[in-house]
Amino acid sequence: MPPQTKPSIVFAHGLWADGSCFSKVIPTLQADGYEVIAAQNSLDSLKGDVDAVTRALGRVSSPAILVGHSYGGTVITAAGNDDRVVGLVYIAALAPDDDETSQSQLAKYPTTDVFEHIEIVGGRIWLKPDGIDSFAGDLSEPEKKVVWAVQGVPVVDLFTQKIKGAAWKTKPSWYVVANDDHTVPPELQRFVAKRMGATTVEVDSSHVPMLSNPSLVIDVIRKAATTVQASPSAPQKPARRPDF
């Protein structure tokens, strides 16, 4: 990468969210001069969501950093194998290995509060209104209502789907751990961050730190961008399978 080239930034959202969940971080990054785009994941299939991120990569300049929140971490773990990707940022996110799925990762930890507030209707898993505090409990009441209203709703088997190829094994990674998360267990977040060798920042936040602590998330993305920008070529990590 030429030393003065800013990487583009491509966001991938997770369940019960859409691209607007990054609305507090996108304007600042754009003002910094980054090309930014947020993929709109259908949550119909993991492959479809990986394809959505890959299409978004084609709409911005290369190279690029992928930023995944929640299930979006599973998406960028697969999509990040694209040669145009030079770094990965995970926000309270899943990050499965080749032999794991989103569900198998979650199953290793106690079930979080949010799953007491879901409803399956029409083959989709909906977050009920009383579940928003378990998802975004540190937002204002008006903000919580908006987050609930724009929720993306996954098919019931989305978390059991798998795509091989864990990009965090070969691409540099950053991770934001949400200490007060009641959706993805903080212990899981710390485990995957350590396993991938990520540069890690912890914050006392609900599952949506990009909305409750946008300045911190912006800072992490900036540091990722400046790190890869300073590299004469896309930095790589040696392929490895970390010890459990």
Residues ≥6 apart with Cβ < 8 Å to 235:
86, 87, 171, 172, 227, 228
User: How would DSSP label each residue in 119-188?
Assistant: EEETTEEEEPGGGHHHHHTTS-HHHHHHHHHT----BTTGGG------GGGTS-EEEEEETT-SSS-HHH
Give CA–CA dist 81/175, Å, rounded: 18
Give CA–CA dist 184/209, Å, rounded: 12
Instruction: Work out the mean pLDDT of the chain and round it to a whole number.
Output: 93
Q: What is the per-residue pLDDT for 233?
A: 57
CATH class of 8-230: alpha beta
| Averaged pLDDT, 131-146 | 97
Beta bridge partners of 69: 91
Q: What is the per-residue pLDDT for 231?
A: 74
Residue 161 is encoded by which pair of tokens? Answer: 């789907």
pLDDT tens digit sequence for 9-52: 999 999 999 999 999 999 999 999 999 999 999 999 999 999 99
The SS3 of residue 237 is coil
Give CA–CA dist 189/181, Å, rounded: 10
Query: How many Cα atoms occupy the beta-carbon half-sphere of 1 within 13 Å?
Result: 27
- Where do we find the tokens 């492959």? 47
For the cut 50, the answer to whether the pLDDT of residue 3 exceeds it is: no
Give CA–CA dist 63/87, Å, rounded: 9
Per DSSP, 104 falls in state H
| Confidence bin at 5 (pLDDT 50/70/90) | confident
Q: What is the per-residue pLDDT for 237?
A: 53
For the cut 70, the answer to whether the pLDDT of residue 2 exceeds it is: no
Q: What is the per-residue pLDDT for 178?
A: 98
Give CA–CA dist 218/225, Å, rounded: 10
Q: In this structure, which amino acid lies at residue 116? A: E
| Confidence bin at 238 (pLDDT 50/70/90) | very low
Where exactly are the structural domains of the chain?
8-230
Q: What is the per-residue pLDDT for 229?
A: 87
